[in-house]
Structure 1
Amino acid sequence: MSEASALPAGYPAQWEADVVLRDGSVAHLRPITPSDVEAVHRFHAGQSDESIYMRFFAPLRQLSDRDVTRFTNVDYHDRVALVATVRGAIIGIGRYDRITPTSAEVAFNISDLYQGKGIGSVLLEHLAFIAWEAGVDEFTAEVLPQNRKMISVFSDAGYEVSRHFADGVVSLTFQIQPTERSEAVRLSREHRAESVSMHSALFPDSIAVVGASRRSGSIGHHILSNILAAGFNGAVHAVNREAMEVLGLPAHARVADIPDEVDLAIVAVPAEEVLNVVADCAEAGVKTLLVVSAGFAESGPDGQQLQAQLLAAARAAGMRVLGPNSFGVINNDPAVRLNASLAPELPPPGRLGLFAQSGALGIAVLASAARRGLGISVFASAGNRVDVSGNDFMQYWIDDDSTDAVGLYLESMGNPRKFSRIARRLASTKPVIVVKSGVSSYGVPPGHRARPTRVRPEAFDAMLRQAGVIRVENVHQMFDVAQLVVHQPLPKGNRVAIVGNSDALGALTAEACVSWGLEVAHGPVSLPSDASGERFAEALADAFADAEVDSVLTCFIPPLVTLDEDVATAVRGAALLSEKPCLATFLGMRGVVERLSGTTDDGRDEVVPAYSMPEDAVRALAAATRYAEWRARDRGIPLRPVGIDREAAELLVERVLEESPEGRRLTLQEVTEFLGAYGINVWGSVPARTVDDAVAAAEAIGYPVVIKSVAPLMRHSPGLSGIRVDLRTEAQVREAFDGLTERLAPMSANSFVVQRMATPGVSCVVRTDEDPLFGPVVSFSIAGPPTELLGDIGHRIPPLTDVDVSDLISSVKAAPMLHGHRGAAPVHRAALADLIARVSVLADNLPEVASLVLNPVNAQVGGADVLGAEVTLAPTPRRKDPGRRTLT
């Protein structure tokens, strides 16, 4: 479809998506249009006789114009078709035709040249997503028995497929409602594809440096020189239109002139020339572009437009892009030895994977790692992060046996929901350490694609904790943690032994432990400053042998008599004999020190990390301890509350947004209906404009009752009471109404409702807000001053598990009020958790819920009563992590 082609009425642009295929390449998915007639003819003409017969059950060597017109003209509701394209050519077609209100027949046709790349699976996934949103819950398909590939597309997608054979055709039927198994299949396929897509950037067989210059000061010259100096084991090609050779390599005028297949093209030309280079690389079949050129979105609106064109051109050609404005990539694998970066030397090889966004930070990160002697497995810089991001590299590191821990320096985050679920999977086996200074729009560097966010920093912190990520404040702290988790076992608990040769240093270390939530279970033991190395070894052996100790902290000032080497030898020797982590504080020493390195009896290399000050060591140990606790915990099971009518809630949303396209706050009746569809019962209340109204309402509801102001002022003035409770007679109702009116009328806060008196309990607030960047953010707090004045609010990012909900309730400092504080009866915590679970699932299912507030929620011995609720609906942009595979 050419850009000039007019899109048909009702064209659903939101269905367009770029997807990573099984081999790591990129294809574009979009709805079919009437202008695709010629493209469909070309696609069909290129198919083999076998493929044509498998699709149409007949040898239709040529399709009639009438058939193709029918195929390409759809209504995007009852008849839907998607095409997958690469370089504008159709490589796959998937369609469904509704046959009943809730079922549709689905069919696929995949190009012979692209079979085996998972195109059928991607098309099925997207069609099922579209159909499910349109009210279809069942797909049927008719397949020839010999078409095993297509049969496997359905069965391997995680659906329960029933088969019926008749008249030489296999009829397949399956429910398309997302299930735990189908979601697992989808995410597994996404993981494998995105991991593979990083292979051409990290393990290229052939590299082309476009813009390789003979000028020693140019970026292209530096990149090519660094690749050659590192001893890259593949083929290297220089591309320069004005030279015959560069650094001893013959120069090619274009990438397309290179006789070899090029996996990675490194682009180091002026920004205005990059699009021509992209077209050249597309013609040559390059798999990945590494764009080190600057002058894109970071430079202003013109550069931003150029960056968008770069992304569109690369994806249309099936290429992934690292950059622009990237510092480069490094892979220390001895089989590769790749230094496609501006770093003049390869860092020492090791087990730490590093990702940074900007070039300047890349330099700082690598320099800091080198100073500490920390070895690197892979380093990557995403620059402006137009395509490849930290999420892609985390997908790669999940399966990378050469990486034991990962450090990420994030200046911005384009898809937090996806980051959270990938980081959670990676952190379940490898520590993930993140440096991220903030989440506000002020923290997003120019050029980075990131939506604005309204979430509080506490919500971002909660997302990282929920995913098991270790968050630190700066590069210094990142490497403090990294040198511990890479070289030492994880702590099995928070009990610490302290051994040193200074009372003051031992006390300082113990104080730091207490402040970071660690328990000093042994010591501090302070040896004399003239103690021998043997005495140090004995004290350390005692500490390691103590069954009440999980970790050992050693802290030494330079001894007056004993040599530093003797102390280091004693620390190393004791640590090698134990499976407990050990950290050493030697004043003035930091990093991976040779004297503290050794090999265990089973041949495992182990290093005792050294820190210049005890606070640094304790902070790193506390982070590793919290991470170990998270990793050892039960993750819980995904929330699936019973008694939910999602369709009824969706119909109400559609009705409201049709009437009010810009959105609005729901009426009380609508709130009751909407929340009721998710099993949330909102207590009724009766408005009372006069005292007689209040009396009549009390008589209808039944005593005892409460009268409360519902004016907005009262919700934000915790010191101003607008409620009278436990009213048991008409006289009490009249007195309460008149008293509240007299006090609140001058403030225009005399809007009252009458409600049944609730069982005494703890007032809580449960809410969810749809954030442009994070999607739904669910919050919980204890009502009143803890929420209004102290900001004691817990946050979590759906989807949640039952353990996540329990953690959310316990995360607020006022949580002891729920558990029988000062002799009060404990509340029904399970009922409160169920309520939060329903809110979480509702928010995850319905992005149109701009805001939902349950306030107050009366948590009491017998349950959790929702006494007040407000819901605001609004049209929302497409979430960054929808329920289908797509690059964002």
Structure 2
Amino acid sequence: MTSNRDESTPASAVETILNPRSIAIVGVSAKPGSSGRTLLDNLQRNDYRGEIHLVGRSGGEIGGLPLLAAVDELPMGVDLALLILPATGIRDAVAACIRRGVRVGVIYASGFAEFGDAGRAEQAEITRLARAGGLHLVGPNCIGYTNYVEPLNTVFLPDTPVRRLDPTAGPAVAVLAQSGGLMSMIFQGLQARGVPISYRLSTGNEAGLTLSDYLAYLADDPATGGAVVYAEDIRDPDGFLEAVRKVRARGKLLVLMHTGRSARAQQAAASHTGALAADYGVMKTLATHAGACVVESIEELVDVAEILARYPQPPTGGAAVATTSGAFCAIALDALGDLDIEVPALSPGTEETLGARLPAYMKPSNPLDLGTAVVTDPELFHDGLAALLGDDRIGSVTLAVPYSHPTANQEMLRQVTRAAAGQPKPVAVALLGDVLPIPAELGAYAAEHGVVISSSPERSLRAMAAVTRYGRSLARARAVATARDDLIGPLDLGPGAQPEWRGKRILAAVGVPVPEGALATSVDEAVAIAAKIGYPVAAKVQAAALQHKTEVGGLVLGIADEAGLRTAWTELNDRVAAATGVDLDGVLVEAMAPRGIELMVGAKRHSAWGPVVMIGLGGIWVEALGDVRLIPPDLAESEIVDELEKLRSAKLLGGFRGSAAVDLAAVARVVATVGRLVTEHPDIAEIDINPLLARADGATALDVLIIGSDADRTTEAVSRT
């Protein structure tokens, strides 16, 4: 029995919890309203057909089932044990479950990792015990889960009977949350909109099964068309990213909300589910690249999930807006501009189609004002939206109209449904005002016909913008750097900062342009190098301990001749020696670089998530302005150019005030090379090129810092965007 359990996989464990053949409730009481009794009621109310075993102290029977005195009295090989016990009793119960060959245990109790070091240590010991014994765990600190495909409810709170999923209702989504309360809120929001739900899963502290395990299972689950996820800590980043890629490879949606954009939010998450602080910017960059739609509010989570459930192909085209209020046209343009979503001009063919259909006094445009003509001609809703949806430039349509007479609203929705039916582009209807609830009959009609409807146009536009960015990120994820031979062989880096001369030697070897020059260990050698490359030159002291040379006077620029170089040599060595006492490798003598735009390119190996690349305005401005973009390390050069053009300072790159436009392709090559270098060499913890001098004829790395990995040191997290 133990051998068979040792061979079980997380996927088989998820299958077991969703479809157990036998269940034991451990800690059940005959007291009405107790958690154990509620669990039993939820199982029986939903006609669970497998074996149910009860373990409690009182003896006798509950609901016609005998009450066993101890876990050790269970028959061997029970599929699922629901441990409705206090934290102090969990370790012994887990040990007993292992002795009886239980496959999966659900721990509801709190009081573990979310309670600090002592609770974290106890959770770790229970995890170790369970893994050694072949027992998979759900929780602790969770409220349970519900299967709507084959009705099963293990939530320990009073609940309504499970309504079996209608397989004809369209793609169903699974709701996964590390918070039981958020799981319920998300579930209720989607259910109220008529979105089919396959499962809702509260994962808690994840001492055993993690979000990665559930997602990997759901990727192949025929009843599930995608997942909506609330997370406070991704405990297995590599596994999570692989599971996200698997979900997307199956063509399924994945919408993720992850807390922790602020330090206080990280602290709150730690006290809720025992989450450890992670870098939000890195998580968002890599999860998005893997195929998740990362959103930043509960409203957006539900709104985006509904759109993607109705329209599984996220758009890449621009947004179109139709309205009966001319004023809302300007409002929509402002809103979508702030959301960085294009509102394209209509194609000539669409203008012609609409021009022939609209009254003569109305001009076809995007946004499209339908005016009051729809009052006497409601089919204009259909014809207007159909024309917009047929335009290749447009990826989605949002219709914003005021509340009006119920009959008029019903006819409007019928016409919209006609236009939206059978085509893949998302359509949303928003009733202006946000002052009244959606009328029940209107909501029911929308849900029945798969139309997205809300009472907040701005909220609808935000959701549509997020869906559009998602579609574009999926397209971008397919445009990754082409696999090639390794850039360079083993680097043999030691831990910690490398001197600049060595960093430049590595970058030059992989094709990154650096200034012409070399390291000099004597003044005569420096003079020979300068004579070879030509004056003027720069001289920089070199030592691994001197990462900021200007702060110790270790840099002289614009040296015009040999006499100046000899003077600079003496001053540099005397000044730096007096200021630092550091033994120098020598002085780096380089040709002075021409003028250009100073950028920065950085790469860091996050301790949990792995490598990520940062690009932005360089020099002193990177700290002063923080104008940077985080990107995955394997992004294609064409996509890197797009990221450069999204910088707030991008105007400087395009020929600002008479200056020549920067060669963005050359910059992108450097960025892509840095990404490959840090990906291929785990011994690199960090690469920092600042500045990278960008010009019309190329890009040159003027200052370089490479930091070697240290197995005993956790690398710094990358700065958040």
Q: Which residue of 2 aligns with 1:757?
A: 592
1:472 aligns with 2:295: yes
Partner in structure 1 of residue 67 of structure 2: 251
Relative to structure 1, the CA distance from residue 672 to residue 424 in structure 2 (aligned partners, 3 Å threshold; closer, same or farther) is same
Choose from 399, 402, 419 the match for 1:574.
419
| Counterpart contact for 1:766–1:857, Cα < 8 Å | yes
* Match of residue 617 from structure 1: 460
CA 196–788 in structure 1, closer or farther in 2 if over 3 Å, else same: same
Indicate the residue corresponding to 2:172 in structure 1. Answer: 351
Q: Which residue, 363, 387, 405 being the options, matches 2:208?
A: 387
Q: Quick one: distance in 2 between partners of 1:473 and 1:626?
A: 13
Task: Rate the CA distance shift 1:262–1:808 in 2: closer, same or farther, 3 A.
Answer: farther
CA distance, structure 1, for counterparts of residue 549 and residue 370 of structure 2: 57
Deviation at 1:408, TM superposition (A): 0.9
Closer/same/farther in 2, CA of residues 802 and 550 from structure 1, 3 Å limit: closer
Contact 1:231 1:338 in 2 (8 A): no
* Aligned match for 1:414, one of 235, 239, 249: 235
> d(CA) in 1 for partners of 2:256 and 2:712?
28
Quote the residue 1:164 is aligned against.
none
Unmatched runs of 5 consecutive residues or more in structure 1: 1-85, 92-112, 119-192, 657-662, 881-888
Residue 325, structure 1, aligned to residue 141, structure 2: yes
- The residue that corresponds to 1:486 in the other structure is 309
Partner of 2:28: 212
State the 1:242 CA deviation.
2.1
User: Residue in 2 aligned with 1:291?
Assistant: 107
Asked whether 1:636 is paired with 2:479, we answer yes
Using the size of structure 2 for normalisation, the TM-score is 0.80
Alpha-carbon distance in structure 1 between the residues aligned to 2:422 and 2:643? 40
Unaligned residue ranges in structure 2 (runs of 5+): 166-170, 345-365, 716-721
Is the contact made by 2:689 and 2:703 (CA closer than 8 Å) also made in structure 1? yes
Counterparts of 1:147-166 in structure 2, within 5 Å, are none
* 2-structure distance, mates of 1:738, 1:495: 62
From 503, 518, 531, the equivalent of 1:699 is 531
Distance in 2, matches of 1:345 and 1:877, equals: 52
- The one-letter code sitting in structure 2 at the alignment partner of 1:519 is V
Residues 494 and 519 of structure 1 are in contact (CA less than 8 Å); yes or no, is this contact kept in structure 2? no
Aligned residue for 1:789, secondary structure, equals helix
Q: Does the C-alpha gap of structure 1 residues 519 and 491 become closer, same or farther in structure 2, counting only changes over 3 Å?
A: farther
Q: Identify which of 434, 438, 446 aligns with 2:271.
A: 446
Question: Per-residue CA shift, 1:546-569, capped at 9, x if unaligned?
Answer: 565432222222215854333333
2:255 to 422, 425, 433: 433
| Distance in 1 (alpha carbons) for counterparts of 2:551 and 2:190 | 49
Structure 2 distance, partners of 1:546, 1:804, is 25
Flag the 1:488–1:870 CA change in 2: closer, same or farther, 3 A.
Answer: closer
Matched, 1:224 2:40: yes
Pair 1:394–1:209, CA change in 2 (3 A): same
Match of 1:361 among 182, 187, 208: 182
Task: Give the aligned residue type for 2:473.
Answer: W
CA displacement, residues 571-590 of structure 1 (integer Å, 9 cap, x when unaligned)? 33332264432101124567
Distance in 2 of aligned mates of 1:591 and 1:366: 19
TM-score by structure 1 length?
Answer: 0.66
Q: Comparing 369-378 with 408-417, which one deviates more in the overlay? A: 369-378
Give the RMSD, CA atoms, in angstroms: 4.3
Q: How far is the alpha carbon of 1:311 from its aligned partner?
A: 0.5
Distance in 2 separating the partners of 1:770 and 1:489: 34
Residue matched to 2:343: 519
Maintained 8 Å contact 1:493/1:629: yes
Q: Is the 8 A contact 2:554 2:576 kept in 1?
A: no
The DSSP-based 3-state class of the residue aligned with 2:172 is strand
Is the 1:498–1:525 contact (alpha carbons within 8 Å) kept by the matching residues of 2?
A: no
Deviation at 1:876, TM superposition (A): 2.4
Answer whether contact 1:321 1:386 (CA < 8 A) is retained: yes
Counterpart of 1:502? 325
1:489 Cα shift?
A: 5.2
C-alpha displacement of 1:511:
3.2
SS of match in other structure, 1:794: strand
Q: How does 1:129-144 map to 2 (within 5 A)?
A: none
- Note the C-alpha offset of 1:514: 3.2
User: Equivalents in 1 of 2:667, 2:10: separation in Å?
Assistant: 39
What is the rounded CA distance, in whole Å, between the counterparts of 1:560 and 1:413 in structure 2? 48
Cα deviation digits, residues 375-408 of structure 1 (max 9, x gap):
3211111111222221112112211222223211
2:289/2:474 contact within 8 Å kept:
no
1:45-84, aligned counterparts within 5 Å? none
Q: Which residue of 2 aligns with 1:782?
A: 617
In 2, Cα distance between equivalents of 1:488 and 1:597: 18
Q: Which residue in the other structure is 1:237 paired with?
A: 53
Taking the aligned partners of 2:305 and 2:203, their CA distance within structure 1 comes to: 21
Deviation at 1:325, TM superposition (A): 0.9
Alpha-carbon contact 1:322-1:386 (below 8 Å) kept: yes
Aligned residue in 1 for 2:602 = 767
Give CA deviations for 1:479-508 in whole Å, capped at 9, x if unaligned: 111111112354544444433333344543
Aligned with residue 724 of structure 1, among 545, 552, 557: 557
Percentage of identical aligned residues: 27
Corresponding letter in the other structure for 1:445 = A
* Structure 1 residues 849 and 534: CA distance shift in structure 2, 3 A: closer
Q: What displacement does 1:248 show? A: 3.5
Query: Structure 1 residues 871, 592: closer, same or farther in 2, change over 3 A?
Result: farther
- Read off the aligned partner of 1:344 and give its amino acid letter: D
CA distance in 1, matches of 2:145, 2:634: 33
Residues 239, 195 of structure 1: alpha-carbon distance in 2 compared, 3 angstrom cutoff:
same
- The answer as to whether partners of 1:490 and 1:624 remain within 8 angstroms in 2 is no
Is contact 2:596-2:695 (8 Å) kept? Answer: yes
Q: How far, CA to CA, are the matches of 2:643 and 2:326 in structure 1?
A: 41
Cα distance 1:778–1:506, how it changes in 2: closer, same or farther (>3 A)?
closer
| Structure 1 letter corresponding to 2:267 | Y
Q: How does 1:671-710 map to 2 (within 5 A)?
A: 671=503, 684-686=517-519, 698-699=530-531, 701-707=533-539
Question: Match of 1:433, SS?
Answer: strand
Query: Is 1:239–1:251's contact at 8 Å kept on the other side of the alignment?
Result: yes
How far residue 612 of structure 1 moved from its aligned partner, in angstroms, is 1.4
Residues 840-860 of structure 1, C-alpha deviations (whole Å, 9 max, x = no match): 344334444333323333445
| 1:272 matched to 2:88 | yes
Tell me which residue corresponds to 1:21. Answer: none
Structure 2 counterpart SS, 1:198? helix
CA change 1:465–1:543 in 2 (3 A) is same
Q: Which amino acid aligns with 2:138?
A: L
Structure 1 residues 580-604: Cα deviation after superposition (integer angstroms, max 9, x where no partner): 32101124567896645679xxxx9
Retained in 2: the 8 A contact 1:568–1:596? no
How far apart in 2 are the matches of 1:852 and 1:203? 49
Partner of 2:157: 342
> For residue 868 of structure 1, what is the amino acid of its counterpart?
D
Q: What is the aligned length?
A: 674
d(CA) in 2 for partners of 1:741, 1:673: 23
Shifted more, 680-689 versus 437-446: the winner is: 680-689
TM-aligned CA deviation for residue 680 of structure 1? 5.9
Q: Deviations over 1:283-329 (max 9, x none)?
A: 22222111112222223443322211211111111122110011111
